[in-house]
Amino acid sequence: MRISNLVLPLLLMVAASASAHHSTANFDKNRQQTITGTVKFFGFVNPHSFIDMTVTDATGKSELYKVFAPGKVLLMRYGWKPGDMKPGDTVTVLGNPDRDDAHFMYLLDVKFASGKNWTRSEQIPE
């Protein structure tokens, strides 16, 4: 048995899993929701950045949301800096909600505490 017969299936499996990891299929691109809340943690990392935030609803109940975003490398290309968002900041986020749990979202637009706005559709092609 040649080594290439073993390597090719392995490479195909790795490529398939990498593709699945980067999928945003679980987010409903036909719906959008806006939330305003307090940043608990900003993961400015690769391959995907994320924002953990606490949102208080109309009844006063606090709920945790996780907002997924492009990776650090892409965000930096579009002007994001690590200090743009930090725990305690109030931000307003527009995103596509997860199909099963609206507490998970995919970032479309954010208004930072500094007043700076970032809109995905204008800066990162799909």
> 13-22, 87-96, 105-114: lowest mean pLDDT where?
13-22
The fraction of the chain above a pLDDT of 90, given in percent, is: 56
pLDDT of residue 45: 94
pLDDT of residue 19: 42
Query: Mind giving me the DSSP string for 63-121?
Result: EEEEEEEE-HHHHHHTT--GGGS-TT-EEEEEEEEBSS-TTEEEEEEEE-TTS-EEEHH
The fraction of the chain above a pLDDT of 70, given in percent, is: 78
Q: What is the pTM of this model?
A: 0.76
CATH architecture of 26-123: Beta Barrel (2.40)
pLDDT of residue 78: 83
Condensed to tens digits (0 to 9), the pLDDT of residues 33-65 reads 999 999 999 999 999 999 999 999 889 999 999
Instruction: Give the residue with greater pLDDT, 7 vs 27.
Output: 27
The SS3 of residue 51 is strand
